[in-house]
């Protein structure tokens, strides 16, 4: 089984997407297919022994839309108007209709001459839509173009050549306008694609050569001059500059970059020259993945999108049947076939429009493209819809509510140790850790010129700490639970611990494990409040499962428990403080004003630190001393108490809680891989003020979709009855229908602003 993506020109509405799918689904060897309007693509799973790619492309070409295996180039723009066949056909159609009117109404020439011009107008203007309309009829997926064909033929049968020509003109105009509307939305994605340059200066073999971005490999050195855009993600190896990352992260201020810093494709080098070692091909860059997710967002459909698709599947055939009944049944009963045939024809042409099918995806993708321009990645319409319904938000503390760049404020040694030895040993253990607090300890050790020794047998325990051998001795670095379980006493340090915790600082304990301890069998479990409102965090101890991983027994025997274990000695306490993000208080206040009733901070820190940091952020509810799995339980409790819950986190430790929540919002850290993969919504610039923006955008988008659906249904609800009663003619009816469709499309495009 092979999966491939086929790109389709001129696929601009849901009816056309359904036509393409139906033309492929029935082929022998096809296992599945899915059309995407935004990327104008069709993903197909097929058996190559039963069908070839050539056969697939041929089947799509028969619909009147051209298929290709090659995607349009980055930054391509729509063809100018004089190179667009449909637009030229529309202009020619209008010219011949106008000429026919002049001949018939002004010059008073015989009808034959006028009909000649009307006939040419019908052929020229109706060629492209008729080709797809007839294909749709063959595949039993009638759409608006099928209606045009049937309507025009019916008008010609009745001798209404002028009306038939106008019908073709109006439908063709609607086609062009709908294609324009869809392309405006697609243009937002194309703008993202266009911000990365197509080529760059590369240093190879001592020479500087200009290469296409596609030909630049990982490890190549790219030279970026002031004012140029950075072509690919990479690491600065030489130079200093200010870089405008607004196209990627939405940040308003440039960011200083020097050797060792990461830069992103599409950002703008403002001042100095930079040499950058390429780390990823374009499709794997932060920008490339943003483009991919925005294009694929249409496939993760909201309830409104599913409604629009379902409505179109059943509504169009029903209207066909109704029109046929109106044409035949009354004529049999009352006679006057021409009158009832005309009335049924009017019902047919006024009943269907791409408006309701197109306006919903236009609104969704316009909103998602808007968010992408503001440094927010929304992975699908379903997440856009959920965001507006959020009633409670849980925030991880470190890296989400706080800046995520903690600093060491105090180093307190015990038992004959010195500040220098505590920092040196702790940084040696933490040198193999990826935790943000580890970086703070290592940074302080380097600032003081201390040596960082090699560590062996390193083991990390999320939410608890880490253990390693340094110079043959076992050291543990982590929270207070590490002291309680191996029997390390902290009695002499309680006053200092209390003072530091009241100052809102996170405490890291350094212990050495060296003495056997008999019969360590008592185990107390951490108590986690599950249901809101949360009580103050409770002091707890390491669960037995974590204790056994961290402190394995030397020997096992008896009926259970530890026959022998470790005891240890406290060597020092390192106090670390991370500041609340400056925008946090304002963002939380705005969320409360928007009706988000539950704002909760989740943290692995102790009660005192949690309370102080929550007060600084303006959050009244918090839960302390949580392991990653305990955050999942806390999210479950929030969902029971509030309904729709979002979880804001920044990495691997928060992933389980983000998955458990209804909406995972990841702090992007300027597009880290973990955040982009984990979150349903990613804040590329780590700006909490974007959360109220997303919720507001979601509500705007949902209101916009509701308006579009209501407008479309009102127009249909008006036109069909008046057509049945004969109070409206063919041309006025289709004009009202197309104007209504245009209104909802324009309304959807407002979300691009």
Name the least confident of 28-37, 448-457, 580-589. Answer: 28-37
* CA–CA distance, 491 with 21 (Å, rounded to integer): 72
Q: What is the pLDDT of residue 524?
A: 31
Please tell me what DSSP assigns to residue 399. Answer: I
pLDDT > 70 fraction of the chain, expressed in percent and rounded: 81
Q: What is the pLDDT of residue 80?
A: 57
Q: What is the pLDDT of residue 2?
A: 84
**Closest to 377 measured CA to CA, from 506, 534, 223, 248:** 248
Asked whether the predicted pLDDT for residue 244 surpasses 60, the reply is yes
**Catalytic positions, please?**
396
Which pLDDT tens digit goes with each residue over 543-552? 444 444 444 4
Q: What is the pLDDT of residue 574?
A: 93
Position 137 confidence tier, pLDDT thresholds 50, 70, 90? confident
Which pLDDT tens digit goes with each residue over 551-586? 444 333 333 333 334 457 888 999 988 888 888 989
The chain-wide mean pLDDT, for the chain, equals 79
Q: What is the pLDDT of residue 355?
A: 63
Q: What is the pLDDT of residue 733?
A: 86
Which pLDDT tens digit goes with each residue over 492-530? 788 888 888 888 788 899 988 864 433 333 333 233 233
Q: What is the pLDDT of residue 560?
A: 33
Which pLDDT tens digit goes with each residue over 420-434? 999 999 999 988 887
Asked whether the predicted pLDDT for residue 487 surpasses 70, the reply is no
Please tell me what DSSP assigns to residue 106. Answer: I
Q: What's the full length of the chain, in residues?
A: 753
Distances (CA, A) of 443 to 55, 408, 449, 450, 451: 61, 9, 10, 10, 12
Which pLDDT tens digit goes with each residue over 8-20? 876 766 667 777 8
Q: Which residues contact 398 (CB under 8 A, 6 or more apart)?
A: 404, 406, 436, 437, 506, 578, 603, 650
Which pLDDT tens digit goes with each residue over 141-166? 676 777 778 888 888 888 889 888 98
Contact 14, 308 (CB under 8 A): yes
Q: Which residues pair with 411 in a beta bridge?
A: 574
Q: What is the pLDDT of residue 485?
A: 58
pLDDT greater at residue 360 or residue 641? 641
pLDDT greater at residue 474 or residue 629? 474
- Mean pLDDT, rounded, for 602-628: 84
- CB atoms under 10 Å from CB of 57, counted, come to 16
Three-state DSSP at 591 gives helix
- The pTM score is 0.70
* CA–CA distance, 94 with 126 (Å, rounded to integer): 12
Among positive and negative, which fits the CA dihedral 291, 295, 296, 298?
positive
């Amino acid at each position: 089984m092979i999966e491939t993506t086929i790109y389709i020109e001129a696929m601009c509405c849901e009816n056309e997407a359904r036509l393409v799918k139906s033309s492929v689904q029935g082929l022998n060897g096809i296992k599945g297919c899915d059309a995407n309007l935004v990327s104008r693509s069709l993903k197909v799973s097929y058996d190559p022994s039963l069908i070839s790619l050539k056969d697939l492309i041929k089947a799509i070409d028969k619909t009147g839309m051209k298929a290709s295996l090659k995607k349009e180039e980055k930054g391509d723009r729509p063809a100018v108007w004089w190179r667009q066949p449909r637009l030229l056909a529309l202009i020619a159609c209008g010219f011949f209709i106008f000429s026919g009117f002049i001949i018939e109404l002004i010059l008073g020439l015989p009808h034959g001459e006028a009909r000649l011009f009307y006939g040419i107008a019908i052929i020229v203007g109706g060629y492209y839509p008729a080709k797809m309309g007839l294909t749709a009829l063959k595949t039993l997926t009638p759409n608006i173009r099928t209606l045009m064909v049937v309507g025009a033929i019916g008008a010609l049968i009745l001798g209404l050549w002028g009306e038939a020509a106008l019908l073709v003109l109006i439908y063709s105009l609607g086609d062009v306008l709908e294609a324009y509307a869809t392309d405006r939305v697609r243009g937002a994605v194309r703008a993202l694609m266009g911000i990365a340059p197509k080529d760059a200066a590369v240093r190879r073999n001592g020479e500087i050569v200009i290469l296409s971005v596609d030909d630049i490999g990982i490890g190549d050195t790219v030279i970026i001059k002031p004012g140029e855009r950075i072509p690919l993600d990479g690491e600065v190896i030489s130079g200093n500059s200010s870089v405008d990352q607004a196209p990627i992260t939405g940040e308003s201020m440039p960011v200083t970059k020097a050797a060792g810093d990461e830069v992103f494709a599409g950002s703008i080098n403002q001042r100095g020259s930079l040499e950058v070692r390429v780390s990823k091909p374009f499709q794997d860059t932060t920008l490339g993945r943003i483009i991919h997710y925005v294009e694929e967002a249409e496939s993760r459909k909201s309830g409104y999108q599913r409604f629009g698709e379902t409505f179109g599947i059943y509504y169009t055939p029903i209207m066909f049947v109704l029109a046929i009944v109106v044409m035949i049944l009354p004529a049999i009963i009352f006679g006057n076939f021409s009158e009832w045939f005309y009335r049924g024809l009017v019902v047919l042409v006024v009943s269907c429009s791409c408006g309701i099918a197109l306006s919903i995806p236009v609104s969704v993708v316009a909103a998602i493209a808007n968010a992408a321009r503001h440094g927010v990645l929304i992975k699908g319409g379903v997440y856009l819809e959920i965001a507006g319904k959020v009633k409670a938000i849980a925030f991880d503390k470190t890296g989400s509510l706080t800046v995520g760049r903690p600093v060491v404020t105090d180093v307190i040694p015990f038992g004959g140790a010195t500040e220098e030895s505590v920092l040196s040993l702790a940084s040696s253990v933490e040198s193999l850790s990826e935790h943000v607090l580890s970086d703070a300890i290592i940074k302080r050790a380097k600032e003081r010129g201390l040596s960082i020794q090699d560590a062996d047998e390193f083991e990390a325990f999320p939410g608890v700490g880490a253990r390693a051998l340094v110079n043959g001795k076992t050291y543990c670095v982590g929270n207070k639970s590490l002291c309680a379980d191996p029997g390390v006493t902290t009695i002499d340090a309680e006053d200092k611990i209390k003072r530091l915790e009241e100052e809102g600082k996170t405490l890291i304990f350094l212990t050495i494990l060296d003495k056997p301890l008999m019969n360590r069998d008592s185990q107390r479990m951490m108590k986690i409040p599950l249901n809101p409102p949360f009580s103050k965090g409770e002091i707890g101890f390491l669960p037995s499962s974590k204790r056994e991983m961290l402190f394995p027994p030397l020997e096992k025997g008896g009926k259970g428990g530890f026959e022998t274990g470790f005891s240890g000695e406290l060597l020092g306490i390192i106090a670390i403080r991370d500041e609340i993000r400056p925008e946090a208080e304002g963002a939380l206040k705005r969320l409360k004003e928007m009706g988000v009733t539950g704002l909760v901070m989740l943290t692995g820190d102790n009660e005192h630190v949690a309370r102080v940091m929550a007060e600084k952020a303006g959050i009244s509810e918090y839960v302390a001393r949580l392991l990653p799995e305990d955050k999942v339980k806390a999210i479950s409790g929030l969902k029971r108490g509030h309904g729709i819950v979002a979880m804001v986190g920044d990495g691997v430790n928060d992933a389980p809680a983000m998955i458990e929540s209804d909406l995972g919002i990841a702090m992007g850290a300027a597009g880290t891989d973990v955040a982009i993969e984990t979150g349903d919504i990613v804040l590329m610039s780590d700006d909490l003020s974007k959360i109220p923006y997303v919720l507001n955008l979601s509500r705007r988008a949902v209101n916009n979709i509701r308006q579009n659906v209501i407008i479309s249904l009102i127009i249909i609800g008006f036109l069909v009855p008046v057509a049945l009663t004969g109070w409206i003619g063919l041309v006025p009816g289709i004009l009202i229908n197309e104007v209504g469709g245009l209104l909802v499309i324009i309304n959807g495009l407002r979300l691009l602003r």
